[in-house]
Amino acid sequence: MHPIVPMAVITVAFSAALWCGMLWLYSGRTMRFVRLVWLGLPLSAIVNLAVKGPLAKGVGELAGVEPGLGLETPVWFLVFLFLLAPVFEELIKAAPALLPAVRRHIGTPGDALWAGMALGMGFGLGEAIYLAWQVTVSGAYTEYPWYAFTGFFGERLLVVFMHGMMTGLLFLIAKRGYWVRGYLAAAGAHALLNSGAMLYQLELAPGWAASASLGVMLIGFAVLFERIRPKCGVMERPDDTVYFSGGV
């Protein structure tokens, strides 16, 4: 067994307990949004295996760009690779809103926030599983003990929340009738989130700078959440089902 597997299990279990618990608490102590997390779980593997991977490989082969060139890679292709994640991941995270069962959960702006966060968190949990699987398949890092992957734990724990915030923001803006603006806001935030890692991979920034950018984005999302959350107050309806009122 690859040593990342135990850490991946701990990461997914702890992240699910923490963020689903937060979702349950702030959405009015109801499971109606927590159940949507399951819909997001397979989306990372789907978009990576069926969209991002084939596109990167196909466009690279058509353009004659060899992989692993670093800074010698044409700028346009670097930009193309950089945009794959924000463009397509934000699309697929929002895709379950096409299902009538999901749309029924989005009656108010508050509902939109919690439903979007649930789908985004599910995507983040699935992404942790997918990345761990990729490492296992590659056969890399087998010489390390399982506890050496604490960086994986910390990063994925935070990214689950941030994926939730990006999709929640998309749904919240879209609920006001601005789907395109909501999508662009989510994709833009996603691009900013990935910028530090991209610069580090190109050896244009040290590792601490990439970690710092992740921390800055986390603070920004946390502040935004605290500003939005009070406007999504809980309202009891006669049937005792928990719904939400308010908006931004």
Structure-block tokens of residue 78: 């670097």
Q: SS3 string of 79-113?
A: HHHHHHHHHHHHHHHHHHHHCHHHHCCCCCHHHHH
Residues in the chain: 248
Q: Which residues contact 13 (CB under 8 A, 6 or more apart)?
A: none
Which of 139-143, 213-217, 238-242 has the least mean pLDDT?
A: 238-242
How far apart are the C-alpha atoms of 160 and 165, rounded to whole Å?
Answer: 9
Tens-place pLDDT, residues 45-66: 999 999 999 999 999 999 998 8
Q: Where are the alpha helices (DSSP H) in the chain?
A: 4-26, 37-40, 43-47, 53-63, 75-84, 90-94, 100-103, 109-138, 150-175, 179-201, 207-228
Confidence check: pLDDT of 226 > 50: yes
Where residue 162 falls among pLDDT bands split at 50, 70, 90? very high
How far apart are the C-alpha atoms of 157 and 164, rounded to whole Å?
Answer: 12
Question: ∠ CA 99-129-16 to the nearest 5 degrees?
Answer: 70
How far apart are the C-alpha atoms of 230 and 248, rounded to whole Å?
Answer: 10
Where residue 233 falls among pLDDT bands split at 50, 70, 90? low
Supply the mean pLDDT for the chain.
90
Tens-place pLDDT, residues 115-144: 999 999 999 999 999 999 999 999 999 999
Where residue 235 falls among pLDDT bands split at 50, 70, 90? very low
Angle between the N-to-C axes of helices 109-138 and 4-26, in degrees from 0 to 180, rounded to the nearest 10: 180
Where residue 239 falls among pLDDT bands split at 50, 70, 90? very low
CA nearest to 169, candidates 223, 216, 125: 223
Tens-place pLDDT, residues 38-47: 999 999 999 9
Tens-place pLDDT, residues 170-212: 999 999 899 999 999 999 999 999 999 888 888 888 888 888 8
pTM, full prediction:
0.91
